[in-house]
Structure formats: C-alpha cells, structure tokens
Amino acid sequence: MEFQTGYERNLETIPVGELGIIALKSCETLGQKINNHIVEWRQEREHEHSGSPLLRSYARPSYLINASVPRFGSGEAKGIIHDSVRGSDLYVLVDVCNYSLTYSLCGHTNHMSPDDHFQDLKRIIAAVGGKARRINVIMPFLYESRQHKRTGRESLDCALALQELVKMGVDNIITFDAHDPRVQNAIPLHGFETIQPVYQFIKGFFRAAPDFRVDPDHLMIISPDEGAAGRAIYMANILGVDMGMFYKRRDYAHIVNGRNPIVAHEFLGSDIKGKDVVILDDMISSGDSMLDVARELKERNAGRIFLCSTFGLFTNGLEKFDRAYEQGLFTSLLTTNLVYQTPELLQRSYYTSVDMSKYIALLIDTLNHDGSISDLLNPTARINNFLEKRRNLNR
C-alpha cells in the first residue's frame, strides 16, 4: 500500500467487526474499485494477530455484500440482504444523483430521483435488522444538502434526513464537500465527516496539464461566488498562491424559476492577466454560472482556465461546455467519480476524471480498525510532499 510521509496509521488492531461493503446499484462501479483496493492491501498485509480466530475472515477475495432493492409493479420496493451481516462493520455506499437507473411504475419507465435513492438506502438499513455491529453510510453527495437552511416558511430536508438515518441506527455518515458543513449540527452526538478532495484535484491538474505551475506568478484560485470562498481560500493558502472571488449581483425585484436572476458577476481580486486560473466550486449543476465566470476571466486576459468541481451533475447536458471549449473559454474540466458520470462525459477530450476510490478505501480500512482518520482528513502533508516531488522532477 502507498503511504505518504507523515502518515501514522495503526492497522495492527483487531477490527471493529468483519468488514462488509454494501454498494447500492447507484454506486456499484465505485464500490467495486474500493473493494479491489482493500482486497489487495489485506492480502499483502502481515497482520500481527493473523493467527487470531477474530481475524479468520480478515483477508477475503471480496468484501462486497450482496444486496438488492427489487420493485413491485406499483413502484413500491423492498430491501433484501442476501449474505450474512451479523456482527459486521458495514459501509453502505449510495449515489443519490445517479439518474441513469430506471424502474417500472404501472407500465411507465421512471428515472430514479434522489428521493428514490434515499428511500432505497433506508430499505437496506432496515433489512440489516440491527444485526450488524456498526453501520456507516458513505453518501458522497449529501442528500438534500442544497436545502440546508430556512429563509422562509420552508422545510429543512437535509437536517431531517440526517436525523432519520441516526434514528435508524447509523453510527457514522461520511460525505464530500457538503454544501454547508454546519448541517451536521442536526446530529451533534453522532459521527459526521465532510471531506474536500483538494489533494486529488491537485494531482488531477498535473494530469490535465503536465506543465501546470504552482506559484503566485503563474496561478490563481478563483471562487465563482461567495458561498465557495472557503474552499478556494483553503486551496490558495495550501498552494501559496493568490485567490480571487466573484459575487453575484441579483435582481431582487423579480423571480425566475424560483430564484432572483443574476444581473452580473462582479470580481474581487488582483490582476489575473496571463495567469492560469482554477475556478473551484462544490458542484456544477447547469454550469451557467461557472461558464459566465470563465467568460469574465477571459475578458480580463486570464491564461488557461481549469474548471474544477467535486460533483459534476450537468443537469442541462454538455453542449454548452462543448461550445465553450471550442470558443477557448476553458482548457480543462475536472470533476470526481463520486457521482454518476455519463459515457459522453468520459469521452470528452477536455475532461479529466478524478478518481476517489483509493481515498475512500483508505477511510474504510482505517475506520474498520477503529483508527484515527485525522491525517486522512487533513491533506496538507500529502499535498506538500506531492508538490516537492514535482519540483524535484522539474529540476
């Protein structure tokens, strides 16, 4: 297994329970990659308690547990666990954004919505029936995370969902780049981790552009709006470069599609002329805002533009990105494989996929041993080591 300098991970302890990974159909591909990493590591690892009966199933050909959620003709469903989970330390993976899955509803074909995926997650937890030693949910895109606060007479869906999961017996919830991490206040006595894939993105920049240069004279990190400023500040500080920000000037006298329309994007920051620019956000939904920001940066004579987002939803398709790339608005687009990626997206020449499977496998492997994941959650040492290696290669 690859270890970075500064890592101290005690994996010689007895695991919490027999490891089990339930990858719901929405997350099958990612789940298989995670399983492959852990299988390889545990077959190579020489555990000091390998002779203990408690570790009789420590190294196995697979940790995936067979589970399914069949549906009736009415559209209703049930969760079924096909393997034993008694005493297991379970990790349930679900991608609530995977709209590619369908089911039959009274003869009509329905695409699965986030609500459907969340219900399936609860069905599987219910099917476990309290027999597992511990249940951990890995939900990369946090369900209803965009409805995290109340600005009127509104429902607080994300908080309700988190409370529902812990009431069902979930011990830990792991998510990535939550829209607002403060939503964890809804379950203050339970485990909740929101992780930013900064380290993986930095490696992705060098794959997308091998001549990528990290210094204040050649690079700047841009937040497309005030909400994304925190993650942009963190990346800029860790890379030692400048940060800029756009804020959206809205027309509060009108409402279009439930929102106040954006009148203009105003820029706050130093001169970006000739610099490479990373536009960093948590998600690309329609992509309009990010492309508008790229257009504004090009008008300010920015160099190469890298669009970078944890979740690439592309709710209105890829055509506008194709046109923008042809017009030279951006050089590369990077998103993770934490949510469903269409075959069309993976075929785009400007697209770089950031694989998170190894990182999630490290988290699962460490948590199964009841080890600390603090070093895994803080990527500073890994980023510094990676950049130092890149600098040595260029000397």
Over range 224-252, report the average pLDDT.
Answer: 86
pLDDT confidence bin for 50, thresholds 50/70/90: low
pLDDT confidence bin for 57, thresholds 50/70/90: confident
Residue position matching structure tokens 């009415």: 74
Please determine, for residue 10, whether its predicted confidence score (pLDDT) is greater than 70: no
pLDDT digits (tens, 9 = 90+) for 163-176: 999 999 999 999 99
In whole angstroms, how far apart are CA 5 and each of 379, 380, 381, 386?
11, 11, 7, 10
pLDDT at site 374: 87
Pairing of strands 172-176, 134-138: parallel
Cβ pair 205, 278 in contact under 8 A: yes
pLDDT at site 1: 43
Give the lowest-confidence range in 97-106, 198-207, 258-267, 305-314. 258-267
Please determine, for residue 80, whether its predicted confidence score (pLDDT) is greater than 50: yes
Please determine, for residue 353, whether its predicted confidence score (pLDDT) is greater than 90: yes
Over range 110-123, report the average pLDDT.
Answer: 95
Share of the chain above pLDDT 90, in %: 64
pLDDT at site 395: 65
Interatomic CA distance for residues 142 and 283, integer angstroms: 12
| Average pLDDT for the chain | 89
pLDDT confidence bin for 2, thresholds 50/70/90: very low
Over range 330-345, report the average pLDDT.
Answer: 95
pLDDT confidence bin for 90, thresholds 50/70/90: very high
Please determine, for residue 147, whether its predicted confidence score (pLDDT) is greater than 90: no
pLDDT digits (tens, 9 = 90+) for 12-40: 788 888 999 999 999 999 999 999 999 99
pLDDT at site 5: 37
Interatomic CA distance for residues 58 and 343, integer angstroms: 36
Please determine, for residue 91, whether its predicted confidence score (pLDDT) is greater than 50: yes
Over range 325-354, report the average pLDDT.
Answer: 95
Surface-to-core class of residue 255, CB atoms within 10 Å of its CB (0-12 exposed, 13-18 middle, 19+ buried): exposed
pLDDT at site 64: 96
Share of the chain above pLDDT 70, in %: 95
C-alpha R_g of the chain: 22
Cβ pair 88, 18 in contact under 8 A: yes
Interatomic CA distance for residues 103 and 110, integer angstroms: 5
pLDDT confidence bin for 314, thresholds 50/70/90: very high
Over range 324-333, report the average pLDDT.
Answer: 94
pLDDT at site 6: 38
pLDDT digits (tens, 9 = 90+) for 296-311: 899 999 999 999 999 9
Give the lowest-confidence range in 52-56, 66-70, 290-294. 52-56
Contacts with 54 (C-beta within 8 Å, 6 or more apart), sequence order: 14, 15
pTM: 0.90
In 3D, which of 305, 303, 287 has the Cα closest to residue 345? Answer: 287
